[in-house]
Amino acid sequence: MDRRQQKTRAAIFAAFNEILTEKSYHQITVQEIIDRANVGRTTFYDHFETKDELLREMCDSLFRHIFSDVLSAESTHDFSLSDGTSRMVITHMIYHLRDNRKNLLGILACESGEMFLQFFRQYLNNVFSSYMPTSNAREVPEDFLLNHISGSFVNMVQWWLKGGMKESPEQLATYFEAVTQPILTQKEAE
């Protein structure tokens, strides 16, 4: 994708997110989005077939950034030299969530927030599955544990957002590690 296309998509995402904070998802029209983004109807449809696809791609774009395997130096944090432990990966994800809070709040505020949370859980399952122990002596199915851990992370993020994001990403990672330590850190200790 060339720079012009990236700029157009960014403008559409920004416009859509702004409107999501102002009104219900189902009340938003494509015309409102293109007017706010200052793009033509054809340009919009060159990038997205529907408003639902726009929401799905906005979530996907946000998640690709948040769940990147590459822990690099960024303006608000630098995990480029981290050891890749679950705690570092979780802290890194929380920094990205904090840095993208405007998009996150807009998406969660709309009634399609549940679709967002479903995508979010899928990405979390992929991340956390690599930190699961290879043998499970608890007699609990792995998919149950993954669902439980991902749900706990989602609930933690919602609690954090609702509380005004007062805790640092490091504090949240510590809280999360305290409640998931028996499961997620077991692999690292093996």
Domains recognised in the chain with CATH numbers: 3-48 (1.10.10), 63-189 (no CATH)
3-state secondary structure of 73: strand
What distance in Å separates the CA atoms of residue 63 and residue 93, rounded to the nearest whole number? 9
20: nearest Cα among 64, 70, 49, 62: 62
Count other C-beta atoms under 10 Å from residue 153's C-beta: 22
Do residues 55 and 112 touch, judged by C-beta distance below 8 A? yes
Count other C-beta atoms under 10 Å from residue 165's C-beta: 16
Check residue 184 and give its pLDDT.
67
Work out the burial of residue 41: count CB atoms within 10 Å of its CB; fewer than 13 is exposed, 13-18 middle, 19 or more buried: exposed
C-alpha distances out from residue 79 to 4, 23, 108, 188, Å = 30, 37, 27, 18
Look at the pTM and tell me if it is higher than 0.75.
no
Residue at 45: amino acid letter = Y
Mean pLDDT by 10 residues, the chain (190 residues): 90 89 84 96 95 85 69 55 70 82 70 74 84 68 86 89 90 90 53
What are the beta bridge partners of residue 78? 73
